[in-house]
Each structure stands twice: as structure tokens, then as C-alpha cells.
Amino acid sequence: MNKRFVSLFCAALLCAASSSVFASRTIVDQIGRTVTVPDQVNRVVVLQHQTLDLLMQLDAKDKIVGVLSSWKKHLGADVVRLDPQLPLLPMPGDLTQVNIESLLKIHPQVVFVTNYAPPAMIQQITDAGIPVVAISLRKDAKNQANKMNASMTNEEQVYNEGLKQGIRLIGNIVNKDHQAEDLIKTAFADRAKVAEHLKAIPDDKRIRVYMANPNLTTYGSGKYTGLMMQHAGAENVAAKTIKGYQQVSIENVMKWNPEVIFVQSRYPHVVDEINHDPRWQAIDAVKEHHVYLMPEYAKAWGYPTPEAMALGEMWMAKKLYPTQFKDIDMSKMANGYYLHFYHTRFDKAPRAVTQ
């Protein structure tokens, strides 16, 4: 018999055995799949950066035995200070692919994947005897659950309920239910504070904002980033033109003529490109020097995170409407949040908090 086949077969048996030593339970993941997982989960592989970030906040990083290969690209290099073991962990796959041989060597009890992971990838891991849990942080209609750019009739409900559902699901699987509820409570309480401060800003006075990503990509309707802007009192200039995460043209941006441009912390080079590229100089945000690099904690991603709700929306709102947020100390908020959920101060970061 082929030695490689024997090795893979034995590793699959070990994975299956490790999942059945303890009593099991059945859960439903965020694309509607029924999955049986062990009652006690201590070894997980994470092939989605949002779930990796959430596991750190749920005080479950000791359970992570493998990560997606693009974790540094998606979370930023500074994330290592929150989990120094990250660079040492095996990387048996990424968002849309898996190396089954490498995965089997780690003997995970559960593999977390993104909602748009290819069905063949999910089936490959399942066939190896390892439970696969898909996370979207959205509560979608059934026919939209496995799409990257989903159609939504009520974005607010899809993301609010989906984030709660996703955090509870991850927390339950890794036996961190209490931490999950704490995370949810904090995120939505801080969002409510933003709304309270913005009550006096009418809709027709909202500041027009563009979210600049590399290669002229941005977020339109149907992405959490649009909701983030909305909750911060901004108008996303791209929302009426594009859906989801797409590339646009410089002509689009010039036509929209945003008053403020935000850039995620993981893309600092984009700020330099905007400020030095002659094509951008006619745009109001550039002329008025209102191009801002967001702090790491803002996490203005296409998918929601509790940190973005608790800190990112507040930071964005304070940047847009400083008079209404004079009582808010972002350094104090960020350090408090990080101490509570990451067990370290935010200001230990190489990049300082932006007020």
C-alpha cells in the first residue's frame, strides 16, 4: 500500500478519534450546515481572519493550533503583540484553499472557515473526519449565506444579528460562552453611545466619506463598512453606485468628491499615494487635508467585528464631529477595551492611538 496514503489515512483516523473521545453536540453554522463537534474543544485551526481576531478576544488563543497563511495581510503585522505565537503556528490553508496533508498533521478538533469557502474545500476537510464550521458574521437569507457580496433587504438586521450569532457560535464551540456575551454587550453598548452623541446631526448635514483601499477598491452597499460610516454619522459616497467590495475608477471618486477619506491601518501606503498622486488633488478631502489613516482597532472591514462597533465607529464619529465628542477620550476607551478583551493595553502598539 502507498506509504503516503497510509500516512494520510492514519492521520485522518487520529483526527476522527480526537473528535470522538469526548461527548459531542450538534450545532448549525452560519451557512446553515449541521455540524457535530466535541463537547470540549481545545484544538482549532482558523482559516478566516475575522474568527482568528474573535478567538483572541474570547480568551481562546491557547486553543489555536493552525492559522490561515494570509493572517498578517488581513490583520496587520502589529497583531503579533496580541498573540506572539502566531508566526510560529502551522498555516495549512487560507480563505479559499486547504492543504489537507498539512492540516491532518495538526490533528484539529474543529476547523473554522469563511462562509464563501469553496464547497469542495469544506467537503475535503469533512471527508478527513474533521468538523468544519463556516462563519459569516451575517444572518443571511438562505440563498445568500455562502456569498462574499450578499444581497440584503435589511443590512442593519443582517449584520447586527449575524454578529451576535457568530460570536455566540464561536464562543460556544470553544467553551467561552460567558466571554461571548460580554463581548456582545460591550460592542452594542458603545455603539449606543455614538448614536446618543449624534442625535443633533440631521441626515442632510452628514459628512460625505470615501473609504480608500489599495488599487482603488472600496466598499459600497451590502458591506459592514457602509453601516460603520452610517453609525458614525457619515454618508458613504460609494453606496449608491456599487455593491459589496469592488474596484472603482479615479473618475468615480472625483465625481463623488468626498469631504473626508479614511484609510484602514493595514494600508498606510494608500495615504501616501493619495496625497502625492496628481489625480487626487482636485478632490475636496485631499485639498483640505482630510485624509486620515484609521487606528488599528477601527477594523473597517467588510465584515463586522465587536471592536469596530465598540471603538471604530466612535473614533470615526469623533474624527468627523469633534465638537459633539469632546467628552470622549479614545486613548482611554481603546486601552480599556484592549485590557478587558486582549489582556494588554492598546498603547503598547508600535503605532499610537489617533485622536
pLDDT confidence band for 132 (50 / 70 / 90): very high
- Among 148, 138, 312, smallest CA distance to 243 is for 148
Longest CA–CA span in the chain (Å) reads 74
Using the predicted structure, report yes or no on whether residue 350 has a pLDDT greater than 50: no
| pLDDT classification of 315: cutoffs 50, 70, 90 | very high
**The predicted structure's pLDDT at residue 77:** 84
- CATH 3.40.50.1980 maps onto the chain at 3-152, 190-348
Residue 119 has pLDDT above 50, yes or no: yes
pLDDT digits (tens, 9 = 90+) for 193-225: 999 999 989 888 899 999 999 999 999 988 889
* Residue ranges with strand state E in the chain: 24-28, 34-38, 44-47, 64-67, 110-114, 132-135, 207-212, 217-219, 234-236, 245-247, 260-263, 291-293
Residue type, 279: R
Is the model's pLDDT at 22 over the cut of 70? no
Count the helices and strands in the chain (H runs, E runs).
Answer: 14, 12
Mean pLDDT of 336-347: 93
- Concatenated DSSP letters of 293-352: EPPGGG---SS--HHIIIIIHHHHHHHH-GGGGTT--HHHHHHHHHHHHTSS-GGGSSSP
How far is Cα 22 from Cα 39, in angstroms, rounded to an integer?
A: 6
Instruction: Give the residue-averaged pLDDT of 261-270.
Output: 93
Q: So what's the architecture of 3-152 in CATH?
A: 3-Layer(aba) Sandwich (3.40)
Residue with cell 503579533: 80
Q: Are 268 and 212 in contact (CB under 8 A)?
A: no
- Tell me which of 1-10, 102-111, 183-192, 225-234 is least confident: 1-10
Average pLDDT, integer, range 24-30 = 96
Query: How much is the mean pLDDT over the chain?
Result: 91
Q: Is pLDDT of 102 > 60? A: yes
CATH number listed for the domain at residues 190-348 = 3.40.50.1980
Distance of CA 132 to the CA centre of its chain: 19
d(CA 117, CA 121): 7
Instruction: Give pLDDT, residue 25.
Output: 96
Tell me the mean pLDDT in the region 132-147: 94
Grid coordinates belonging to 325: 465628542
In this predicted structure, the answer to whether residue 354 has a pLDDT above a threshold of 90 is no
Confidence tier at 8 by pLDDT (50, 70, 90)? very low
